[in-house]
């Protein structure tokens, strides 16, 4: 019950982690079935229809329900601590964001039980996704599930933007922010600009499907290319929403474990901004083959290639940070170091794809599949694993087991390259993407087999991680505040796990790498910026949970055209909103004498 009503960012972070990881496993199992089907030519484990459902659900689940929530887990767990705050700016909204994401994801996945699974690909291109070609309820689940989950993401973006602007500890100016906080700040800005675009597209598609509107139906004068524009104006920045936080994690981990200040801090900040900005300018590189014409293709080609410049700045800064550092190797730092060359390879194939004429050859082949998995798995998932091992002691008070961690790293790392490196060559040989099977003797057979073996190796790595979590669970909570001994930012100045209110006294920040600076000056603790006093806390609330259930019910109502159900669901949500607005809740205080008592979570 505690967990249903919590508004504490640390607990919400854990909720995101559990839910995101569950969806990661579901998406992973879907991937393994896909790979199992493609292991040998002319395989028939799954039907063509089921295969389409699997790739659609795999892509959608991994991006929206696994990768983003796991990032939200880390940002919830870490950002308030890194900026010396007691919580996020809007704790109630934070909880609402989690629950809408969760119920949106559940709704999407209930499609498996309703026997109507989305099958138009995770990009849901029309006319394939229109009622003409997908007339069951499958795509409705996609549209409405993502709609509800998207509310959660948007709330999170707004919340973290406000938090980082407003809640920084005294002295923590923008150019002293830890790099992870910087990337989350810019990611939040991207979310705030990109997600409404997706929402608009989904609303339009929903109107097309449910009420026979005519945005995308070309037979009636609608425009299918419009969907592609809307989708990718959201979709390309989305890639940066995913990868920038990973950049932030890598920056923290690399600097901590090489015991050096991050090389080129300010260039890192501006590179991040530049990448975010350019990320919005390049969406049409997904549409070179749509027939936009040479001028558009040329401009979008060049704009895309430009992104390699700030990205290169970042890569070199990480290398220079490692250069000459006294590097400590452990699971976290190895995922971070493994990230660098892997991500570079994803970037190189990105530049190849950005060349419009070459893309005519690569488009819709396995080359693309290889490319985006190098970026998303080799970038983001490596980053998440690195960050989880790094901040686990802060979140749970226990360090993950190193031996199991090494097993996770090596199986996952080798499995990853086995799975996806070879797909580049499959693509160059012409194996098309999104096909359920292939004929023998085209030179695809062995490579597909290797790819599938690699995928199962990644599965083993994931299992090792799960075992690690449970093994660690049974250990005593003995992690120190500065768990790695080399912490640099504020989260390492408070106990692991932190008390409910994080900082008993807000710290005074005197430089970049605030905690490192104090340690170098021989101080044992941060200088407090305020006297000890009662701490104001927000009250827990069940309303976010109920509001999300309301939306969930309304979603079903709309989908199956039961407007009464839809109305009832919306009524629940609006009633909760009214309650929230009409009844003042001033929260409570933790008095100084109670502050000693206990470490929570």
Q: Which chain residues interact with ligand HEM by CB under 6 A?
A: 28, 31, 34-35, 55-56, 58-59, 62-63, 67, 121-122, 369, 373, 376-377, 380-381, 419, 433-434, 455, 458
Q: Which residue has the tokens 């910026």?
A: 529
Of the pair 28, 91, the CB lying nearest ligand HEM is at 28
C-alpha span between 185 and 164 (Å, rounded): 7
**Phi, psi dihedral angles at 408 (to 5 degrees):** -55, -50
458 binds, among Cu ion, ligand HEM, none (CB under 5 to 8 A by kind): ligand HEM
422 binds, among ligand HEM, Cu ion, none (CB under 5 to 8 A by kind): none
Give me 478's structure tokens.
């003995």
Report, in Å, the least distance between residue 239 CB and Cu ion: 6
C-alpha span between 339 and 413 (Å, rounded): 9
Q: Report the SS3 class of residue 402.
A: helix
Of the pair 353, 576, the CB lying nearest Cu ion is at 353
From the number of C-beta atoms within 10 Å of its C-beta (0-12, 13-18, 19+), residue 454 rates as: buried
C-alpha span between 410 and 561 (Å, rounded): 50
Binding site for Cu ion (CB under 5 A): 236
DSSP 318-366: HHHHHTT--PPPSHHHHHHHHHHHHHHHHHHHHHHHHSHHHHHHHTTBH
Give me the residue whose beta carbon is nearest to Cu ion.
Answer: 236
Tell me the β-bridge partners of 507. Answer: 528
Of the pair 397, 461, the CB lying nearest ligand HEM is at 461
Within 465-528, strands assigned E span none
Are the C-beta atoms of 412 and 458 separated by less than 8 Å? Answer: yes
Give me the residue whose beta carbon is nearest to ligand HEM.
Answer: 59
Report, in Å, the least distance between residue 283 CB and Cu ion: 6
Of the pair 59, 91, the CB lying nearest ligand HEM is at 59
340 binds, among Cu ion, ligand HEM, none (CB under 5 to 8 A by kind): none
Of the pair 69, 487, the CB lying nearest ligand HEM is at 69
Report, in Å, the least distance between residue 235 CB and ligand HEM: 10
Q: Sign of dihedral through CA atoms 590, 490, 385, 159?
A: positive
Of the pair 282, 376, the CB lying nearest ligand HEM is at 376
455 binds, among ligand HEM, Cu ion, none (CB under 5 to 8 A by kind): ligand HEM
Of the pair 178, 454, the CB lying nearest ligand HEM is at 454
55 binds, among Cu ion, ligand HEM, none (CB under 5 to 8 A by kind): ligand HEM
Of the pair 447, 514, the CB lying nearest ligand HEM is at 447
Q: Which residue has the tokens 């705050």?
A: 85
495 binds, among ligand HEM, Cu ion, none (CB under 5 to 8 A by kind): none
C-alpha span between 595 and 86 (Å, rounded): 13
376 binds, among Cu ion, ligand HEM, none (CB under 5 to 8 A by kind): ligand HEM
Q: Report the SS3 class of residue 507.
A: strand
Helix (H) or strand (E) holding 201: helix 179-211
End-to-end CA, the chain: 14
Q: DSSP letter for 42, please.
A: T
236 binds, among ligand HEM, Cu ion, none (CB under 5 to 8 A by kind): Cu ion
Report, in Å, the least distance between residue 338 CB and ligand HEM: 15
Report, in Å, the least distance between residue 558 CB and Cu ion: 31
Tell me the β-bridge partners of 528. Answer: 507
179 binds, among ligand HEM, Cu ion, none (CB under 5 to 8 A by kind): none
Report, in Å, the least distance between residue 527 CB and Cu ion: 46
Of the pair 20, 557, the CB lying nearest ligand HEM is at 20
How many other C-beta atoms lie within 10 A of the C-beta of residue 430? Answer: 13
């Amino acid at each position: 019950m505690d967990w249903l009503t919590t508004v504490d960012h640390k607990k919400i972070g854990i909720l995101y982690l559990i839910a995101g990881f569950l969806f990661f496993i579901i998406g992973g199992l879907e991937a393994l079935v896909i790979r199992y089907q493609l292991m040998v030519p002319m395989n028939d484990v799954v039907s063509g229809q089921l295969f389409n459902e699997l790739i659609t659900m795999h892509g959608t689940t991994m991006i929206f329900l696994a990768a983003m929530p796991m990032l939200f887990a880390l940002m919830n767990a870490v950002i308030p601590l890194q900026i010396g705050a007691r919580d996020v700016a809007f704790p109630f909204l934070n909880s609402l964001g989690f629950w809408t994401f969760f119920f949106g994801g559940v709704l999407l996945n209930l499609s498996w039980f309703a026997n109507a699974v989305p099958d138009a690909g995770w990009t849901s291109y029309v006319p394939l996704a229109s009622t003409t070609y997908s007339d069951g309820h499958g795509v409705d689940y996609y549209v409405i599930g993502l709609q509800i989950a998207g509310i959660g993401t948007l709330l999170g973006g707004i919340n973290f933007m406000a938090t980082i602007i407003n809640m920084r500890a005294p002295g923590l100016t923008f150019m002293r922010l830890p790099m992870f906080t910087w990337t989350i700040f810019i990611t939040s800005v991207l979310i705030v600009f990109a997600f409404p675009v997706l929402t608009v597209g989904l609303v339009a598609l929903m109107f097309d499907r449910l009420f026979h509107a005519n945005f995308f139906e070309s037979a009636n004068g609608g425009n299918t290319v419009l969907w592609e524009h809307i989708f990718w104006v959201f979709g390309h920045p989305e890639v940066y929403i995913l990868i920038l936080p990973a950049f932030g994690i890598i920056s923290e981990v690399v600097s901590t474990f090489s015991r050096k200040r991050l090389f080129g801090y300010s260039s890192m900040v501006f590179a991040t901004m530049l990448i975010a900005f350019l990320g919005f300018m390049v969406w049409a590189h997904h549409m070179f083959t749509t027939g936009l014409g040479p001028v558009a293709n040329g401009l979008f080609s060049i704009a895309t290639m430009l992104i390699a410049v700030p990205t290169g700045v970042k890569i070199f800064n990480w290398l220079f940070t490692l250069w000459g550092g006294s590097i400590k190797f452990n699971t976290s730092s190895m995922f971070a170091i493994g990230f660098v060359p892997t991500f570079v390879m994803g970037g190189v194939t990105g530049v190849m794809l950005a060349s419009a004429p070459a893309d005519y050859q690569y488009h819709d082949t396995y080359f693309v599949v290889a490319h985006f998995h190098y970026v998303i798995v080799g970038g983001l998932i490596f980053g998440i694993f690195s960050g989880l091992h790094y901040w686990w002691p802060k979140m749970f008070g226990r360090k993950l087991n190193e031996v199991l961690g090494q097993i996770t790293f090596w199986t996952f790392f080798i499995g990853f390259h086995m799975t996806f490196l070879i797909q580049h060559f499959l693509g160059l040989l012409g194996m098309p993407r999104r096909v359920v099977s292939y004929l023998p003797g085209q030179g695809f057979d062995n490579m597909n087999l290797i790819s599938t073996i690699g995928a199962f190796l990644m599965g083993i790595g994931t299992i090792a991680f799960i075992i690690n979590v449970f093994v660690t669970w049974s250990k005593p909570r003995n992690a120190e505040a500065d768990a790695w001994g080399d912490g640099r930012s504020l989260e390492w100045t408070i106990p692991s796990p932190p008390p409910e209110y994080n900082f008993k006294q807000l710290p005074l920040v005197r430089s970049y790498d605030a905690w490192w600076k104090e340690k170098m000056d021989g101080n044992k603790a941060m200088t407090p910026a305020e006297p000890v006093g009662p701490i104001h806390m927000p009250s827990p609330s069940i309303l976010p949970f109920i509001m999300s259930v309301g939306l969930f019910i309304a979603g079903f109502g709309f989908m199956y055209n039961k407007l009464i159900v839809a109305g009832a669901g919306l009524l629940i949500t609006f009633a909760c909103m009214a309650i929230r607005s009409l009844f003042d809740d001033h929260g409570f205080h933790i008095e100084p004498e109670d502050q000693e008592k206990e470490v929570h979570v």
